[in-house]
Structures are given as structure tokens and as C-alpha cells.
A = this chain, B = another copy of it.
């Protein structure tokens, strides 16, 4: 009857490590993921590696072909845009729910992030800004308290990390983005669900447009 150690699910943990490796760029898109190599890299046995690959396949981060192994999934242009559009559809709903459910402490957290964002923009610090950006979206999800939506958003976003990086570095993008974020926070703090949804949509319209630019730039061989 002891407090029993977590008893973590090994294959899920292996999958988490592999996910992190892929999203952090340790493996490139289309790169082969050879099971034997992953066994040593992830410090796991082959059965768990295979299960992890199956999960990440289901998740859309990896593609498997029978008898030919797994590769990091390479997104086509249209897939990248589709994913960004799906994210927009879900996250606008989340913004509305956050506005309906935010408490006083939640509001001050959000406003604090906006303050830090403005400082980061003033200091021309895109790395810090990118981190605050991620944190703001996470906080909004937490406030919305919609676990299903959060799960969907996490998988959608993990498929786009590489592009997100490039977008955050678009010249002038943070300066514009911080205004959009401030509008979202203002609407949430006012408890105005419709306004929060609209502000989030405006923001994510920009993100979708930027991804369109990014993929056409990539197609033109500029990356």
C-alpha cells in the first residue's frame, strides 16, 4: 500500500524522448530512423523503439513504410498550411473559453507576460520573445481548461516547430505580433469571449499567412 513510484510507461517515455529529438531538430525531415540506432540513442530495447515509432506515426511526426522502416515526416506545403489552419480553428475556440473562465490571478499572469513581451521587443531579443510567445499560448490553454483541445494543439504545433522558428525571426514580426497578443489578453481579461475569439483569429490569420510565405520561400530554395 506504499506510495508506489510513478510506474512510468516505458514506451510512452521513449516516444517522448524521440518526439523531443525530432522537434528539436536532432533528426532532419525525411531522415531515416533506423531501429538499431534509436536503441542506443534512446537507451531502450527494440520493442519499445518500435512502439514509439508506431505512436509517433499515429501522431503524424513519423512515417513508416512496410519493411522499409521509419522516417521523420516531411510536411508538404499544403500539409503545413492545413495544420496551421486546424490550429487556428481550435485555438480560437480556446481563446473564447479562456475569456469565459479566467480568474483574477489568471489575468495578472497574462498581463505580466505581455509586459515582458514588450520588453523583449524593445530589447530586440527574438529568442526571449519566442519563449514568451509559447508561454502565453500555454497559459491561455491552461485557463481554458480544455484538455482535449490542448492535446490536439500540442500535436499540431509539434509538427510545425521548424517553421515556427523561422517565422519568429521574420524581421518586424515580433513588433506586430506583440500588439496582436496584447489584444487577445485584453479581451480575455475583459471576460469578452467573442472579442477574444476574434483577436486570436486575427493573430492566427497572420501565422497562417506567414507559413504560406515560409513554404513558398522554402520552395524557392531560400532556406
Contacts and interface: CB of A to CB of B under 8 A. Distances in A.
Contacts of A83: 148
Given A7-B66, A58-B55, A86 B93 contact: yes
Interface in A99-125: none
Contact of A9 (B11, B66, B147): B66
Interface in A51-76: 51, 54-55, 57-60, 64-67
A92 interface: yes
Nearest to A8: B66
A40 B64 CA distance: 26
A55 B11 CA distance: 11
A86 B152 contact: yes
Contacts of A55: 54-55, 57-58
B67 A7 contact: yes
Contacts of A54: 11, 51, 54-55
A47 interface: yes
A149 interface: yes
Contacts of A176: none
Contact of A149 (B7, B51, B85): B85
A64 B146 contact: no
Nearest to A145: B78
A148 B11 contact: no
A146 B85 contact: yes
A54 to B, nearest CB: 5
Contacts of A8: 66
A162 interface: no
3 closest residue pairs by CB, A with B: A82-B148, A7-B66, A58-B58
Interface of A: 7-12, 47, 50-51, 54-55, 57-60, 64-67, 79, 82-83, 85-86, 88-90, 92-93, 146-149, 151-152
